[in-house]
Amino acid sequence: MAADRVGHDADGASEHSSTLDGLDDALLGGPRTLTLRDLAEQVGIDLDLVRLYWQTLGLPHPAADEVVFTQQDAAAVRRWADLQREHGVDRRTAISLTRALGHTSDRLALWQVEALVEDLSRRHQLDDTSARLLVLDRLVDIAPLLESQLVHSWRRQLAAIAGRLSAEFAHQRDERPDPTALPLARAVGFADMVSFTRRTAGLGSTDLSEFVQRFESVARDVVTDAGGRVVKTIGDAVLFVADDVETGARVALGLARVLGGDLDVEREKEAGGLAEGARGVTPVRVGFVWGRVLSRFGDVFGPSVNLAARLTDIADPSSVLTDGSTAALLADDPRFRAEQQPTRDLAGIGPIAPVLLRDA
């Protein structure tokens, strides 16, 4: 029996190694034949710069003479160097561009693999380990489809950003903006799930996954349907922006209304039903304001972002709070109604008189 077991383990290890070799050929464009030093010599840059490129991608740091790279890796390093040598991009910017790729692609790859694991586990009634091994076996065939979708999505997103920039700034070519002001005027807001810890306490992995996925997918749908954009989700919260104050108001009110529970039953029916522990309403508190922001690293920063977060903290469930200046911009719009609230002292901001925003 022991000999049989050893033989079985050896066969499993051999099969696992063969799978990884196949993945390397498919994903990395060939076998690993190069070291960091080889990359530096081929590209014609310092070894420390090659190490810096690899580091900013967020990948493991190999020793200088460890054979872990492919010719595809060498081509990627060369393109990174050409950004600086041929296009004049300074090193700080080149590092930022690479860090953006590493951060985003790491999260994207993990998200997609976990989604595939969950899909196979559910469809074939597999335990988690078996589902992961099955995903590993199928990645070679699935990866090209995921890659083509990634390239298409990136191109569409870049085209959408270019279109927004052209619409917003093309007529301002001869104007001189205030150098002391943050560059972008945006509606910015948060929607924060009420009692997330209590609602998710005791949920198993399947129920918790469905609960969080449901919140994120519904929130994203509401934001994009109203004309806004999701900046990021943070577990039980979503940060959004919009290019005008009216759109920001529609997004904020939509989140408070839809995630207040009136869509839950229909959503669950359309999705085939959630596990029992993941059902129920998901009310949110929403804060949004109009102001100027700095957009960097796929995120937004500025006093208006901080104010929106603080207003979210004090909002009642399924309600939207804004500030007086934002409410004034909406005063002539018949779609909205504003109700002045008592002055509150907000941490890090000071006293402010919030305004409750409603649909008219």
Domain ranges of the chain: 13-165, 181-359
Does the pLDDT value for residue 298 go beyond 60?
Answer: yes
Does the pLDDT value for residue 21 go beyond 80?
Answer: no
**Arithmetic mean of pLDDT, 102-118:** 92
The neighbouring-strand residues paired with 193 are: 284
Q: Is 230 helix (H, G, I), strand (E, B) or coil?
A: strand
**Arithmetic mean of pLDDT, 330-359:** 94
64: Cα separation from own chain's centroid: 33
The pTM of the full predicted model, rounded to 2 decimals, is 0.70
Q: Which residue has the higher pLDDT, 273 or 293?
A: 293
**Arithmetic mean of pLDDT, 201-226:** 84
Q: Which residue has the higher pLDDT, 329 or 177?
A: 329
Does the pLDDT value for residue 198 go beyond 80?
Answer: no
| Alpha helical stretches, state H, 31-127 | 36-43, 47-56, 71-85, 91-124
| Whether 71 contacts 105, CB under 8 Å | no
360 vs 195: CA distance, rounded Å: 28
**Arithmetic mean of pLDDT, 288-309:** 94
Which CATH fold would you assign to the domain 181-359? Answer: Alpha-Beta Plaits (3.30.70)
User: What pLDDT, on the 0 to 100 scale, is given for residue 17?
Assistant: 57
Looking at the chain, how many residues does it have? 360
Q: Which residue has the higher pLDDT, 268 or 100?
A: 100
Q: Which residue has the higher pLDDT, 265 or 245?
A: 245
User: What pLDDT, on the 0 to 100 scale, is given for residue 165?
Assistant: 85
**CA proximity to 335, closest of 226, 219, 193, 222:** 226
Please, which pLDDT band fits residue 173 given cuts at 50, 70 and 90?
Answer: low
Lowest pLDDT segment from 55-69, 75-89, 191-205: 191-205
53 vs 81: CA distance, rounded Å: 9
